Amino acid sequence: MVNQCGWGATACRNLLALGIAGLHGAALYPGSWSEWCAQPGAPIAISRDS
């Protein structure tokens, strides 16, 4: 699982919570969403629930 947010504060809290819950192995993507989606072929998941 990779956590990402606008500038890292929320993603870091998510990683801390995952670690406390015993769910290890998650990572932080330090780039922004704009950086990620600008990469040709970058995988993107879309939620159809909202």
**Is residue 10 situated within a structural domain?**
yes
**Is residue 12 situated within a structural domain?**
yes
Residue 28's DSSP bridge partners are 3
CA dist 6 → 3, 9, 21, 32 (Å): 11, 8, 24, 5
**Is residue 18 situated within a structural domain?**
yes
Number of domains in the chain: 1
User: Looking at per-residue confidence, does 22 or 36 come out higher?
Assistant: 22
Q: Are strands 2-3 and 27-28 parallel, antiparallel or unpaired?
A: parallel
Q: What is the domain range of residue 20?
A: 2-28
According to the model, what pLDDT value does residue 23 have?
93
Measured CA to CA, the distance from residue 49 to residue 26 in angstroms comes to 24
Phi/psi for 2 (5° steps) reads -115, 135
**Is residue 40 situated within a structural domain?**
no
**Is residue 43 situated within a structural domain?**
no
Q: Looking at the predicted structure, is the pLDDT value of residue 34 above 80? A: no
